[in-house]
């Protein structure tokens, strides 16, 4: 399955209050996690738009991780519950499109879980390495650079 020399591109959409803070804490503590993880701060995973996930894949991501607050502890009350439903729907869309629903995962973290952030980042990296490159990678559109 995995491809020799393959360096995955993984987009991590992280809620501002918890998961992004956990990633920041991991960095402050100098915990090691793969540089294949590209962290993007979003206000709340409840604001997750399926199109944003699909855009990440169309732009060359091999995997997407959604990281939000602990279940039942969302700063926007039920944002992470809504996100879980969207992630499940997105898995179905990715499977039907031939990309693979297993390329997206959701994690729940508190802001104090820097070590857990590093652990799930390593886990996601290993998972995507095992899957190999996304089928969309070869045809991925890249953002244009204006000169």
DSSP per-residue letters across 8-65 = --EEEEEETTTHHHHHHHHHHTT----TTEEEEEES-GGG--HHHHHHHHHTT-SEEE
- Taking only the tens place, the pLDDT of each residue in 87-132 is 998 999 999 989 999 999 999 999 999 999 999 999 999 999 999 9
Name the residue with higher pLDDT: 41 or 81.
Answer: 41
| pTM exceeds 0.75 | yes
- Taking only the tens place, the pLDDT of each residue in 35-77 is 999 999 998 887 888 888 999 999 999 999 999 887 776 666 6
């Amino acid at each position: 399955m995995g491809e020799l020399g393959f360096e995955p591109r993984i987009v991590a959409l992280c809620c501002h209050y918890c998961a992004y803070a956990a990633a920041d804490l991991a960095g402050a503590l100098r915990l090691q996690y793969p540089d294949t993880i590209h962290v993007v701060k979003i206000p709340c995973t409840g604001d997750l738009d399926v199109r944003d996930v699909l855009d990440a894949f169309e732009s060359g991501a091999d995997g997407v991780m959604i990281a939000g607050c602990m279940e039942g502890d969302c700063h926007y009350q039920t944002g992470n519950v809504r996100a879980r439903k969207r992630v499940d729907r997105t898995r179905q869309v990715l499977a039907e499109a031939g990309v693979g629903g297993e390329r997206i995962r959701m994690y729940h973290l508190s802001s104090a879980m820097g070590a857990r952030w590093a652990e799930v980042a390593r886990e996601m990296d290993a998972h995507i390495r095992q899957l190999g490159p996304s089928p969309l990678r070869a045809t991925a559109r890249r953002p244009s650079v204006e000169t």
